Amino acid sequence: MLVGLTYDLKADYLAMGFSEEEAAEFDSPATIEAIEEALQSHGFLTERVGALPSLASALLQGKRWDMVFNIAEGLHGFARESQVPALLDYYNIPCVFSDAMTLGVCLHKGITKHVVRDKGVPTADFAVVEDAEGAYAVNLPYPLFVKPVAEGTGIGVGAASKVRTREELVAACEHVLARYNQPALVETFLSGRELTVGIVGTGRNARALGALEVVFASSAESDAYGYVNKAEYLDRMQYHLAEDEVGRYAAQVALDAWRALGCRDGGRVDVRLDADGVPNFIEVNPLAGLHPVNSDLPILCYKMGMTYRQLIGDIMESALERTGLGSMPVSPVHQAGESAAEAVR
């Protein structure tokens, strides 16, 4: 089975003049190499395709794949993560991970929270501020938490995200509107433990791999697992498996949100406990980072005793099962990706 790989390389965008922050969500060659090695170790043939323009060009030249392993983040707008899956839909080529509709919904954190709240999943009260005047209309108790409505990798999240007064709220919303050119999501601040839950599978076959608690070191920006804390996680953050009752409760909330949103194959859901100890949905990552060393999902897997190769294999099993393309190919014994796993165990 031939699997194409679609992705956005960070170095390409830096070369085009994008800033480090603007290119933060894009991937490194190490990620592509790790995914490709893991797929090949399972017996798949692979072909690197690259970003949307390369995909479009290849398709127009008649190139096809049995499936595409898509981690492309895309460019511009709330539907940027949907661009590759939507194009593949036109050519009736299945892809790994969520479809265009789900990726579009999940990128807009306000729309996402409407969906999960409607499904009965606990999530903090919120408002979406579209313009500066809208900040004055927010009627939620302080403290509040403010972030861009459609960014990942903690972009736009930092110490100033937690606001305690109307003046701080207005300033934080104006900053998001001006710097990121998009609405601000304002939520009731959740004061409890923060966890991220790894999930593989689709629908009723989805399962939580485990819950990873995010612990802030003394050098970290407290209360905000944001861009700087994530970029400097070795000095600022600690990660512990949450195997207690709270971890199990968080995993169930995450799984409920995953199914409510129609997410597929693999990813992460972030939750945080409120003042009563109830895990609340924060956001979902249907295109979770897959760097073999630095990304939260592989880190969680290593702590659970699961190798990178096994993670990619479980993701592919889900994609093959739901698309009816058969079972995993017979693979040679191979330890691809496991060297990286050993490095962080």
Q: Is the pLDDT of residue 336 over 70?
A: no
> What is the mean pLDDT of the segment spanning 238-257?
95
Q: Is the dihedral of CA 257, 261, 319, 46 positive or negative?
A: negative
162 or 235, which is more confident? Answer: 162
**Vertex 97: Cα angle to 95 and 102 (nearest 5):** 105
- Fold agreement (2-106, 125-188): no
The size of the chain, in residues, is 345
32 vs 5: CA distance, rounded Å: 8
> What are 257-279's pLDDT values in tens digits?
999 999 999 999 999 999 999 99
Q: Is the dihedral of CA 20, 26, 29, 30 positive or negative?
A: positive
- pLDDT at site 341: 41
Q: Report residue 332's pLDDT band, with 50, 70 and 90 as the boundaries.
A: low
Quick one: fold of 125-188? Dna Ligase; domain 1 (3.30.1490)
- pLDDT at site 343: 42
Asked whether 248 and 256 are in contact (CB, 8 A), the reply is no
Find out whether the peptide bond into 148 is cis, omega within 30 degrees of 0: no
Q: What DSSP letter does each residue of 194-220 carry, written as one string?
A: EEEEEEES-GGG-EEEEEEEEEE-TTS
Domain positions in the chain: 2-106, 125-188, 193-323
Q: Considering only CA atoms, which of 125, 118, 153 is closest in space to residue 257?
A: 118
Which segment of 54-63, 81-90, 154-163 scores lowest on mean pLDDT?
Answer: 154-163
Amino acid at 105: V
> What are 69-82's pLDDT values in tens digits?
999 999 999 999 99
> What are 98-129's pLDDT values in tens digits?
999 999 999 999 999 999 999 999 999 999 99
Top CATH class, 2-106: alpha beta
- pLDDT at site 234: 78
- pLDDT at site 235: 77
- pLDDT at site 340: 46
Q: Is the pLDDT of residue 44 over 70?
A: yes
> What is the mean pLDDT of the segment spanning 232-250?
88
Residue corresponding to tokens 């994609």: 319
Tokens describing residue 298: 């592989």
Q: Is the pLDDT of residue 205 over 60?
A: yes
- pLDDT at site 334: 52
Average pLDDT, the chain: 92
> What is the mean pLDDT of the segment spanning 229-235?
75
pTM: 0.91
> What is the mean pLDDT of the segment spanning 151-156?
83
CATH H superfamily, domain 193-323: ATP-grasp fold, B domain (3.30.470.20)
184 vs 280: CA distance, rounded Å: 19
Amino acid at 5: L
Asked whether 5 and 276 are in contact (CB, 8 A), the reply is no
Q: Is 277 exposed, middle or buried (0-12, 13-18, 19+ CB in 10 A)?
A: exposed
Q: What DSSP letter does each residue of 173-189 carry, written as one string?
A: HHHHHHHHSS-EEEEEP
> What is the mean pLDDT of the segment spanning 31-42?
97
β-sheet bridge partners, residue 22: none
Tokens describing residue 12: 């390409």
Q: Report residue 344's pLDDT band, with 50, 70 and 90 as the boundaries.
A: very low
Question: 3-state class of 96 per DSSP?
Answer: strand
Amino acid at 281: F
**Vertex 159: Cα angle to 184 and 257 (nearest 5):** 55
Q: Is the pLDDT of residue 225 over 70?
A: yes
- pLDDT at site 187: 97
